[in-house]
Chains A and B, each alone.
Chain A
Amino acid sequence: MIIDKVKKVNKTEKERTKNKIAANMMIGKWVKCDECKEIIYKEELHKNLSVCPNCGKHFRLSSRRRINQIADEGTFTEIASEIQTKDPLNFDGYLKKVEILKEKTKIEEAVKCGICNIEGEKAVIAVMDGNFLMGSMGSAVGERITIAIETAIEKRLPIVIFCVSGGARMQEGIVSLMQMAKTSSAIAKLNEEGLLYISVLTDPTTGGVTASFASLGDIILSEPKALIGFAGPRVIEQTIKQKLPQGFQSAEFLLEHGFIDKIVERKDMKSTIAKIIRLHKGGKVEDG
């Protein structure tokens, strides 16, 4: 018994720090990088644009944080926020799940759209949010993105879409599938108008979003190491009955295969987008 007590008192300094870290993690001040396993102070992570200061891993971003990183301060005006989740299949428990999620995440749907300035360049942006049902696209996401594209056409502005998505939203069935056609039709119109569309793929971009507007940018950027594909890795592995090689469907893999233009680190994203917008000014079609 006495020995036990001594043991308790003599816990090493290291162990005590570990406990402290663990305690702080419990109250949400620390996160562990799942790439390099480093424990990072959350505030430091956020100051570093949610990129691991140790290994450079780009953590997933909420739409709110992303907009703060890209839009000039105080310039973002939201559009299409009145478009809310619909339940065309009367799918059991779906709307209830959405209500709980809205309460928990304080976000309304898996995309937030608006008009803002990016280094002074006015643009429409649509930012998907993986915290809301994996960024899946149902009628609200498709409708909001279509409104964003149509707003770009109407106001003759460039549009930037940040993609993150697990694919089409199953709970809305065929209606989700139709959003792929709807958004792609709107992009086709945008092209006829000679307006610029920059698509930014972030981790992960898959399924129906990859197979529609995400792949249709005039310029397609990606964050490093983002997973990008049509079929998810698990589905492919089940089909071919073997493990996929390391790095299959990564942004680097897509760059090598010719499907994206450029991989851009988060710290350079805003300036890169602004530069692309500036480079597209003054073409013949620009009449606004």
Chain B
Amino acid sequence: MAKLTAWDRVQLARQLERPKSLDYIQKIFEDFMELHGDRNFADDKSIVGGIATIDNIPVTVIGEQKGKKIKENMERNFGMPNPEGYRKALRLMKQAEKFKRPIITFIDTPGAYPGMGAEERGQGEAIAKNLMEMARLKVPIICIVIGEGSSGGALAIAVGDRIVMLENAIYSILSPEGFASILYKDSTKAKEAAENMKATAQDLKSLEVIDYIIEEPEGGAQEDVNQVALNIRKYILKNIKELQKLSTEQLLNERYEKFRKM
């Protein structure tokens, strides 16, 4: 692929036509069944999750879900989860642990929603709890950043045994706009921020934060969704099989060490 700047990739990662979690889920897995609700307050549509199989292996699948059109985006809150979304994700992950299913998560969010209700219902607590619980879940977890992975809202479903990114995805502490407004006191310097904050897949691979980069066709994932889905599927299958060979103790120790050295 032609040399893209970090800002080019930010644009690609945010493109409305870029495939979203459900696009991949439907192409990668057989018989996906979506499950709803956190059993506590609501069903947050900015996170989808359910059960499926991949090559006859039962798995639990979770993804942050943006919309492609304005109406769907309103419904999905532009992929910005409330605490209920994270709690639904955790409920499904605990269920996966009970039935010994590997977990696959798809990350694609501008961040956890910074609204009043989210604060009232404990956005910080919800994210923190996911980090703590995911660290010890006794099943393999593979986390794939497919678009925009921004802040704690992304990390809340991204603690696992393999952390990978699509070639044009970004993963960062905050959006380039937020970063610029904090560090340069000027949100219009987002482009400059994007170059300096090291948020591309290539940057994160060299920082050893991620394990692998999944290839996209020239022009971005939307140019050939089937090919990208196939690339992801191959990665998942190979790595589930590797991770399933480990004892629970080995699995958890390696996961701990993975984050311990960061």
Contact = CB atoms under 8 A, between A and B. Distances in A.
Interface in A50-102: 88-89, 91-92
A185 B173 contact: no
Nearest to A139: B262
Contacts, number: 154
Q: Which of B122, B172, B179 has the most CB of A within 10 A?
A: B122
A213 B199 CA distance: 24
Interface string B128-164: 1101110110000000000000011001101100000
Contacts of B131: 180-181, 184-185, 211-212
Interface stretch (A19-27, A118-126, A234-242, A267-275): A234-242
A244 B199 CA distance: 32
Judged by DSSP, the binding face of A is helix
A187 B158 CA distance: 17
Interface residues of B, number: 46
A249 B119 contact: yes
Interface of B: 112-116, 118-125, 127-129, 131-133, 135-136, 151-152, 155-156, 158-159, 171-174, 179, 182-183, 196-199, 204, 207, 209, 255-256, 259-260, 262
Given A182-B260, A188-B133, A236-B114, 14 more contacts: A168-B151, A171-B183, A178-B262, A181-B131, A185-B136, A189-B135, A207-B152, A212-B127, A212-B152, A214-B128, A216-B129, A229-B123, A230-B152, A257-B120
27 contacts: A89-B198, A139-B262, A173-B172, A174-B197, A174-B204, A175-B207, A177-B172, A177-B173, A178-B262, A180-B152, A180-B155, A184-B132, A184-B135, A185-B132, A185-B159, A185-B255, A188-B135, A189-B256, A207-B152, A215-B125, A215-B129, A229-B119, A230-B118, A230-B124, A231-B118, A231-B119, A248-B116
